[in-house]
Amino acid sequence: MILSKEEIKKLEYSGYRFVGQNKHTAVKICHWTRQSLLDKGVCYKEKFYGIESHRCLQMSPAVSFCQQKCEFCWRDFSHNKTQWIGDYDEPGIIIDEAIKNQNKLLCGFFGNDNANKNKLIESKTPNNAAISLAGEPTLYPDISDLIYEFKKRDFTTFLVSNGQYVDRLKNLENEPYQLYLSLDAPDKKTYDELCNPQIDDGWLNLNESLETLASFNSRTCIRTTCVKDKNMKNPENYAKLIKKADPDFVEIKAYMCVGSSRDRLTLDNMPEFSEVYDFADKIAKNCGREIVNKSEISRVVLLE
């Protein structure tokens, strides 16, 4: 196995469930899936894009693999690997077991009188995969076939990448429903300090991925995580990079002080919604875009 028994146990304690023989894939119930089942709100992706929160499968096929150690990431970096090592499970097995484990995690809601019964029934057959739980999913060697297998099962797929594995993105035979590229710095200095690349040429890799984004047939989105006193500066530089990538959407979202990021940052680094909105407005004006939607509770603004 890629992770030790102790590492798996620690992650399971925080809500992860590992699937497959090689234990590189995990699912975890999203906060908004729980809230939706109780009719207490939905994820901003439902508001922005129509993705039903109660039918979303939050997962990653590369939990312990990433080429960056971003200060704002909720992951524990103690088991981080920058390139793939070991064997890997086939996409069909991953999806079958991911759905099975998600249903196990949700089974307690069937005894909750406050749960929406119709949503509970629908939740047993998820139809969107948020391939973004932890790690860099493009490092999973079979990521293209995983997306294809999800498509065969009538899933939409939201794939989130840090843009470091440029060749894998360029040669992705099966594109996701929506491809996210993380852009968390307006310049190389900020990127190096905040995203802590663990491989050479991190900033160059990101820029090359930005340049290839317009070649995708799928919907594309740039996501910026705003960390107060760290990267909420130079909106005109963000705008230049966004213009170069020409994505369909841009999400400007607040850093949330959760998980292991609390060991690296504080609540003071979590901007208020008004601060995120003002920063998003400055970026929008510099790249000829408009704010078209927002979610105050998630502290996120959508540019289109």
For the chain, 304 residues long, give each residue's pLDDT as a single digit of tens.
677 788 788 888 778 899 988 889 999 999 999 999 999 999 999 999 999 999 999 999 999 899 999 999 988 777 778 889 889 999 999 999 999 999 999 999 999 999 999 999 999 999 999 998 889 999 999 999 999 999 999 999 999 999 999 999 999 999 999 999 999 999 999 999 999 999 999 999 999 999 999 999 999 999 999 999 999 999 999 999 999 999 999 999 999 998 888 899 999 999 999 999 999 999 999 999 999 999 999 999 999 9
Contacts for 158 with CB less than 8 Å, ≥ 6 apart: 45, 51, 128, 129, 130, 131, 132, 176, 177, 178, 180
Residue type, 41: G
- How confident is the model over 121-135, as pLDDT tens digits? 999 999 999 998 889
Residues 151 and 157: beta-carbon distance below 8 Å: yes
Domains and CATH numbers, the chain: 5-303 (3.20.20.70)
